[in-house]
């Protein structure tokens, strides 16, 4: 029996004019003074800074500047990981004011390489020890009030699959930066009391600190680092790419409301629901739009537009109605004019693709059968998209 979401997706594929929006998405090129950006210079010099300010003021909060004092210490290494194919390292990153807790960064690089390789970096939910079963990798404290065994989350970042394709992969625990629970600021967030940044902004800032290290790693090409993440970590990945142009590509996975789905959407999680369930993810002003998200001076297509002209891939699952996959396709359509203005192409699909069909244009889309997860069913599409843009 077809799910309601799959039925909607099929209908949308037949009728490109179908919408899940309660109100039209704002024109991303119309500036606050009512004029429209018509040149790349107007976008870069005026409209883009406006949007960065609006997202900081009304949704995510203001991040502190880069700390400038990052150090990386090797905590452990296995140069013969996976039968000798991979070098696995864990580094301890220190940065920020004195007393900021360390962040543990797990990095896997293929041993067979002709030079620096492209890389993926993303947050994990349960600690680096859950990504691999190596006994020397730092064990994070329980997350979501549960203990997660070593290697229990290996499919989220399948190291062998990724490195066999010639990519490095790096990951860090989001809880090293800030606990994922409501309450007073913790971790790095607590060390900057004068900033109004919320949790997703703190996590995104932490991803940027991981990038600070990765661009110095001689095994990794600093111009070809992609950021990836699932669900709340996908929201974070998109924000990190939008606010740091060093990321070459972004793959937010099933990131839904507050990430890749429209705030004006009528399917799945709403602004009011997400602010009620996760009040620590966004700044307090975002709550003012709970009952009237159409009053927001922006929507998530403009967060995607802030990534332009860099490639962005949205990935979804047909049973994950909460993330509004159809609305996410509308978000890509809404970002398309900015990519076109910059001469970068855009979304080369008039309607949502069928399951397992990857739209590999600069603005990409992928949907598969299944539910809310990131794993072995997703990475072949991620790698194919990255091959198209990072090779």
Residue 160 CB neighbour total at 10 angstroms: 15
Active-site annotation holder among 143, 186, 231, 263: 231
CB contact burial 197-235 (16+ within 10 A = b; e otherwise): bbbbbbbbbbbbbbbbbbeebebbbeebbbbbbbbbbbb
Mean pLDDT computed over 199-213: 98
**Residue 116 and residue 154 in one domain:** yes
**Residue 75 and residue 214 in one domain:** yes
Which pLDDT score is estimated for 57?
98
Residue 8 confidence (pLDDT) above 70: no
Whether residue 152 lies inside any domain: the answer is: yes
Active-site annotation holder among 94, 138, 152, 372: 372
Whether residue 116 lies inside any domain: the answer is: yes
* Strand extents, DSSP E, the chain: 71-80, 86-94, 103-110, 117-124, 168-173, 220-230, 249-253, 312-317, 363-368
Which pLDDT score is estimated for 40?
98
**Residue 11 and residue 129 in one domain:** no
Mean pLDDT computed over 265-269: 96
**Residue 277 and residue 356 in one domain:** yes
What is the percent of the chain where pLDDT is above 90? 93
Residue 126 among the catalytic residues: no
Which pLDDT score is estimated for 289?
98
Which residue, among 169, 184, 133, 303, has the nearest Cα to 234 in the 3D structure?
Answer: 303
Residue 13 confidence (pLDDT) above 60: no
DSSP state of 36: B
Cα radius of gyration rounded to whole Å, the chain: 20
- Res. 11 pLDDT band, cuts 50 70 90: low
Q: Which long-range contacts (CB under 8 A, 24 or more apart) does 275-282 make?
A: 278/182, 278/232, 279/182, 280/180, 280/181, 280/182, 280/183, 280/198, 280/199, 281/198, 281/199, 281/200, 281/232, 281/235, 282/59, 282/60, 282/61, 282/198, 282/200, 282/258
Residue 363 confidence (pLDDT) above 80: yes
Kindly report the length of the chain. 391
DSSP state of 390: H
**Hey, is 263 helix, strand or coil?**
coil
**Residue 72 and residue 216 in one domain:** yes
Mean pLDDT computed over 345-362: 97
Residue 372 among the catalytic residues: yes
**Residue 75 and residue 218 in one domain:** yes
**Residue 214 and residue 329 in one domain:** no
**Which tokens sit at 231?**
């669900």
Distance CA 331, CA 316 (A): 13
Whether residue 235 lies inside any domain: the answer is: no
Looking at the structure of the chain, the number of domains it has is 2
| Full residue range of the structural domain in which residue 99 is found | 67-223
Which pLDDT score is estimated for 1?
35
**Residue 7 and residue 145 in one domain:** no
Whether residue 388 lies inside any domain: the answer is: no
**Residue 84 and residue 199 in one domain:** yes
Mean pLDDT computed over 363-376: 97
Residue with tokens 């939008």: 242
Whether residue 42 lies inside any domain: the answer is: yes
**Residue 32 and residue 125 in one domain:** no
Residue 2 confidence (pLDDT) above 70: no
Residue with tokens 């009040």: 279
Which pLDDT score is estimated for 18?
67
Which pLDDT score is estimated for 144?
79
**Residue 167 and residue 272 in one domain:** no
Residue 50 confidence (pLDDT) above 70: yes
Whether residue 247 lies inside any domain: the answer is: no
The pTM of this model reads 0.95
Whether residue 246 lies inside any domain: the answer is: no
Give 299-332 pLDDT, tens digit per residue: 999 999 999 999 999 999 999 999 999 999 999 9
* Strand extents, DSSP E, 231-360: 249-253, 312-317
Which pLDDT score is estimated for 6?
52
Whether residue 229 lies inside any domain: the answer is: no
The overall average pLDDT reported for the chain is 95
Which pLDDT score is estimated for 125?
97
Domain end position, chosen among 170, 201, 223: 223
**Residue 104 and residue 217 in one domain:** yes
């Amino acid at each position: 029996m077809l799910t309601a979401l799959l039925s909607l997706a099929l209908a949308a594929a037949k009728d490109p004019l179908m919408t899940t929006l309660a109100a039209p998405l704002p024109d991303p090129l119309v500036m606050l003074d009512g004029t429209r950006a018509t040149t790349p210079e107007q976008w870069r010099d005026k409209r883009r800074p406006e949007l960065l300010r609006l997202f900081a003021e009304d949704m995510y909060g203001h991040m502190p500047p880069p700390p400038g004092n990052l150090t990386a210490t090797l905590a452990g290494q296995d140069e013969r990981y996976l039968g000798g194919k991979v070098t696995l390292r864990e580094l301890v990153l220190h940065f920020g004011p004195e007393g900021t807790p360390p962040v543990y960064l797990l990095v896997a690089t293929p041993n067979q390489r002709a030079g620096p390789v492209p890389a993926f970096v993303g947050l994990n939910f349960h600690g680096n020890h859950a990504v691999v079963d190596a006994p020397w990798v730092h064990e994070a404290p329980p997350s979501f009030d549960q203990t997660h065994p070593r290697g229990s989350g290996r499919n989220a970042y399948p190291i062998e699959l990724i490195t066999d394709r010639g990519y490095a992969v790096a990951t860090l625990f989001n809880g090293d930066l800030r606990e994922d629970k409501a309450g007073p600021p913790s971790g790095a967030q607590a060390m900057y009391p004068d900033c109004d940044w919320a949790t997703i902004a703190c996590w995104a800032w932490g991803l940027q600190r991981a990038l600070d290290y990765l661009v110095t790693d001689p095994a990794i090409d600093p111009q070809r680092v992609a950021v990836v993440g699932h669900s709340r970590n996908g929201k974070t990945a998109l924000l990190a790419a939008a606010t740091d142009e060093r990321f070459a590509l972004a793959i937010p996975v099933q990131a839904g409301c507050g990430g890749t789905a429209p705030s004006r959407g009528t399917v799945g999680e709403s602004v009011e629901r997400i602010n009620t369930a996760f009040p620590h993810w966004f700044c307090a002003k975002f709550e003012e739009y709970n009952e009237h998200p159409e009053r927001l001076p922006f929507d998530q297509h403009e967060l995607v537009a802030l990534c332009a002209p860099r490639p962005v891939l949205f990935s979804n699952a047909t049973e994950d109605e909460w993330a509004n996959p159809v609305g996410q396709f509308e978000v890509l359509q809404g970002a398309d004019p900015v990519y076109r203005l910059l001469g970068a192409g855009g979304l080369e699909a008039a309607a949502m693709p069928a399951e397992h069909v990857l739209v590999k244009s600069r603005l990409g889309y992928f949907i598969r059968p299944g539910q809310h997860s990131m794993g072995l069913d997703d990475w072949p599409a991620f790698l194919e998209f990255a091959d198209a843009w990072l090779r």
